[in-house]
Amino acid sequence: MRAIALAAKISPQTIRVICLEYDGVMNFFARFATAAILGAAVVAFSQAQTASSVWDGVYTADQAKRGADIYAKSCATCHGDELEGGGQAPPLTGSEFTSTWNNQTVDDIFEIVKGTMPADKPGSLTRAQNADLLAFVFQKNQFPAGKTDLPEDAAALKKIKIEEKK
C-alpha cells in the first residue's frame, strides 16, 4: 500500500527521469558486457592464430642442416648416429620420442636440452645452436620444414605444441 501511495505522489516528469536514468545505466551495462565478450573473443581468436604445432613447418631445411652438424659433434656419441638412443640416452626419433613429448611445448624440450646437454658440457650450446639442433630432431621425426627458422626465444617456443599425430 505504501508503494501505491508513494507512486501517487511522484509526478509523471519525475517518473520519466527515473526511467531514462535506469535505461542509461542498463544501456551502459549492456555495452560494457558486449565489449567484454567481444574482447574475450578477440583474445581467444588471436591465441588460436598464434599457437602452432610442429606440423606447421616451424623450422627451415637450412636450419636443420646446421643442427645436423651440431648433432654430429655434440650429441651422436650418446644418442647414436641415427638418433636411436643407447644406454642411458633416450632415442630422439620415433614413437618413444614423440609420445614422450606429445602435447608439450617446444620450449619444454628446449629448456631441458639447453640446461642438460651435451652431457659432458651441459649448457655449453647457445640458444641459436639449440634451436638448430631441435630443427634437426624435428626433421628426423618427419615434421615438415617451413619458411622461417625455429625461434630461440622462450615466449615464441611456448606457443608451438609438439603433437605426435597431425
Interval 95-146: pLDDT, tens: 999 999 999 999 999 999 999 999 999 999 999 999 999 999 999 999 999 9
- Claim to verify: residue 157 and residue 81 sit in the same structural domain: yes
Q: Which of 103, 109, 94, 116 is nearest to 157 (CA)?
A: 109
Over residues 21-42, mean pLDDT: 56
CATH of the domain at 158: 1.10.760.10
Domain membership of residue 11 as a residue range: 2-50
Average pLDDT in the chain:
84
pLDDT band, residue 51 (cuts 50/70/90): confident
pTM, entire model: 0.71
Is the pLDDT at 12 greater than 80, yes or no?
no
Same domain? For 27 and 105 the reply is no
In terms of Cα–Cα distance, which of 123, 152, 134, 117 is closest to 67? 134
- Choose one of 50, 70, 85: the last residue of a domain: 50
45 and 59, same domain (yes or no): no
Number of domains in the chain: 2
Interatomic CA distance for residues 106 and 58, integer angstroms: 10
**Residue 36 confidence (pLDDT):** 57
Q: Is the pLDDT of residue 67 over 80?
A: yes
- Based on the domain organization, do 28 and 57 belong to the same domain? no
pLDDT of 61 higher than 90: yes
Within this chain, do residues 100 and 111 fall inside the same structural domain, yes or no? yes
pLDDT at 47: 42
